[in-house]
Structure 1
Amino acid sequence: MMRFLLSSLATLILAVPPYAGTARAADDCANAQDQATMNACAGKAFDAADKKLNDAYRQIEGRLKDNAAAKRLLVDAQRAWVAFRDAECNFQGGPPADAGSMYPMVVASCQASLTNNRLKDLQGYLNCKDADTDCPVPAAR
């Protein structure tokens, strides 16, 4: 029984993102004064950016529903971009042991920034006109 409880506790701890802090502390990101709160706030910023990116991505997928080849290219591009984003942000964060308690904040801040940049790209695709020959996404109907 004790082994099961310890195993469950370890699983729960590992399931929590490294930037997660107390909800109360993360509510006041503008006045964050401790590293745990700054980590949580950076994580919240990344989560918000990622949600917007996923919404834009789904809209593009919807516009490409009748073009399987273009949709496959979108999936490939997005997977490559996610791999790049994560590798770049891990590089910016440096080895976790060297960065210490700031590591989650640095990585999440980088992820939020690059995600917001990618969001601008996807939003540009969503705002293409039919006459845009260099746009891979058809205009909304």
Structure 2
Amino acid sequence: RALNERMTHLYRLELQKVMGTYTERRLDHAQNLWRRWANAECEFRNGPPDWQNAAWSTRQDDCLSGMIRSRIAQLDGFLHCSGATCPPK
């Protein structure tokens, strides 16, 4: 939960930075697709959902945590980018 909150916080900060530009729409679209992809990727790795199986739930949570950590690093990079390292506006 804390990781998800951190990711959401960074996403909102980046969204504020690009508010009112075409980049705002692209970022919003990318974040929505990223969430769908992360869930699908972890389900692919762990097999179909089996909410009665504690081991499956743990693997799924671990997978999503790893995905969120990677996304946090990406969003943090966007926030602190300069010049050519920034996404195009």
TM-score, with structure 1 as normaliser: 0.57
| RMSD over equivalenced CA pairs, Å | 1.9
**Among residues 59, 84, 88, which one is paired with 1:133 in the alignment?**
84
Considering Cα pairs closer than 8 Å and 6+ residues apart, tell me whether 1 or 2 has the greater RCO: 2
Unaligned runs of 5+ in 2: none
Aligned to 2:53, the other structure's residue is in SS state helix
Q: Is the 8 A contact 1:89 1:107 kept in 2?
A: yes
Q: Point out the structure with max Rg over C-alpha.
A: 1
Partner in structure 2 of residue 34 of structure 1: none
Aligned to 1:112: 65
Could you say which residue in structure 2 is the equivalent of 1:54? 8
Aligned residues: 88
Q: CA deviation at 1:103?
A: 1.0
Query: 2:45 — aligned with what?
Result: 92
Structure 2 length-normalised TM: 0.88
What is the identity percentage for the equivalent residue pairs of Structure 1 and Structure 2? 26
2 CA distance for matches of 1:117 and 1:58?
17
Q: After TM superposition, which residue ranges in structure 1, 4 or more long, deviate above 2 angstroms?
A: none
Give unpaired runs (5+ residues) of structure 1: 1-46
1:103 to 56, 79, 88: 56
Question: For residues 58 and 36 of structure 2, what CA distance do their matches in structure 1 show?
Answer: 19
